[in-house]
Amino acid sequence: MKNIYIVVSIVVLGLIAIFSLVSRAKGKQPRRISKLAALGMYMVILGILFGNGELWIGYSFMGVGVILAVIDLVRNLKNP
């Protein structure tokens, strides 16, 4: 059952990467990912990797990663 969650997470990350590449191909100027968003992404990946052992560690990493991504989103909405 845990392997299904890992596979789904990897597929979702792959879809995000594909959508990012498609949006760049439409002529939009590419934006660099902010340090806060990158840190959030790394935390989510760590949550996926450490989710097999102690569940609370994996969920903690994922939660912190999502919170960092939301904070970055709100900051970018206020200051484009």
Per-residue pLDDT of the chain (80 residues; tens, 9 = 90+): 667 777 777 777 777 777 666 655 556 566 677 888 888 888 888 888 887 777 788 888 888 888 888 888 788 777 65
State how many domains the chain has.
1
Instruction: Write out the two tokens for 18.
Output: 């594909």
Q: What is the pLDDT of residue 1?
A: 61
Range of the domain at 19: 2-78
